Amino acid sequence: MSSNADGAAGDPSKPAAAPAPTPQGVLRLGPYEYGPHQRLVMAIVNRTPDSFYDRGATFTDAAALDRVEAALAEGADLIDIGGVKAGPGDVVDLAEELRRVVPFVAEVRRRFPEAVISVDTWRAEVGDAVCAEGADVLNDAWGGWDPGLAAVAARHAVALVCTHAGGVEPRTRPHRIGYPDVMADILARTVHGEAERAAALGVPRDRILVDPGHDFGKNTRHSLEATRRLGEMTATGWPVLVSLSNKDFVGETLDRPVKERLIGTLATTAVSAWLGARVYRVHEVAETRQVLDMVAAIQGHQEPAAAKRGLA
């Protein structure tokens, strides 16, 4: 009698075995290579006067450069520079976004030549300009709204973050948005859609990341489900980036204002690390680094920084 690989021969009531996860490979960002168990911290540097979190604290060049220096000292692996607030607000046209980020990227590259620089933009023109000044990563938080951005990443051979945003227009909030299956939509649009499209355009596969897009085109329940099912994304083999820091889904879940969301953010960070996410876009670098190191040690991927108890 023949049998199926999952041992459920002739019994349709038993589900088929889930496919084995695709092994995680090397991730390349700038000149660096990162192994499958390395967890990277991406520090947020907002070049905006109206950020939901810091309210313009790093809008000036001097403050933003201080932030870069402090984030690197605290253990950040990447710096993510953004010139446009994600949510609704004053119009920031192409010329203004270029003014806010291009000279700053050039200065960061000059002052911190070993830093990995990411730029948060959905515009191909901005991507092209910052890559010319030394950016290593293009962080497209709006799901390929400008299809030319992936082509820019391919032309410059830089890394690209492909994010699920549910097809919503940049800088808009979702209104009564729904999905029959939110993770299925994330996988279809981002993993099988934008990431594969970027690879076909010539972006090196080891420089493509996927992001479930917490809060982007989603309500709080969608973001919680995306976190709970993050293992389905990491099982595809594409490196997963999560942007969780102080977001509305954390605030609504715990009923906390923006400045009181750190504990919820770190809890979500620990769960995401356990499920295999590899890059974490954050405001609080040092706290995130400690959480990631603790999870890595529990998983057996990292040795304790000090091990003295019971040994003397």
| 75-126 pLDDT tens trace | 999 999 999 999 888 899 999 999 999 999 999 999 999 999 999 999 999 9
N residues, the chain: 312
pLDDT band, very low/low/confident/very high, at 2 (cuts 50, 70, 90)? very low
Averaged pLDDT for residues 258-270: 98
Q: Is the pLDDT of residue 6 over 70?
A: no
pLDDT band, very low/low/confident/very high, at 21 (cuts 50, 70, 90)? low
Residues 6+ apart with CB under 8 A from 5: 17
Residue closest to 282 by CA, chosen among 30, 39, 45 = 45
Q: Is the pLDDT of residue 223 over 60?
A: yes
Distance CA 227, CA 272 (A): 7
Residues 6+ apart with CB under 8 A from 73: none
Distance CA 9, CA 16 (A): 10
Residues 6+ apart with CB under 8 A from 203: 150, 153, 154, 157, 159, 160
Average pLDDT score over the chain: 92
With beta carbons less than 8 A apart as the criterion, state whether 104 and 163 touch: no
Residue closest to 207 by CA, chosen among 269, 157, 257 = 157
Question: Where do the domains of the chain lie, and which CATH numbers do they carry?
Answer: 27-299 (3.20.20.20)
Q: Give catalytic status of residue 259 as yes or no.
A: no
The per-residue pLDDT for range 133-183, each reduced to its tens digit, is 999 999 999 999 999 999 999 999 999 999 999 999 999 988 899 999 999
Cβ-in-10-Å burial (0-12, 13-18, 19+) of 223 comes to buried
pLDDT band, very low/low/confident/very high, at 5 (cuts 50, 70, 90)? very low
Q: Give me the catalytic one of 28, 123, 189, 281.
A: 281
Distance CA 105, CA 73 (A): 18
Q: Give catalytic status of residue 99 as yes or no.
A: no
Distance CA 222, CA 181 (A): 9
Q: Give me the catalytic one of 67, 100, 247, 289.
A: 247
Distance CA 104, CA 89 (A): 22
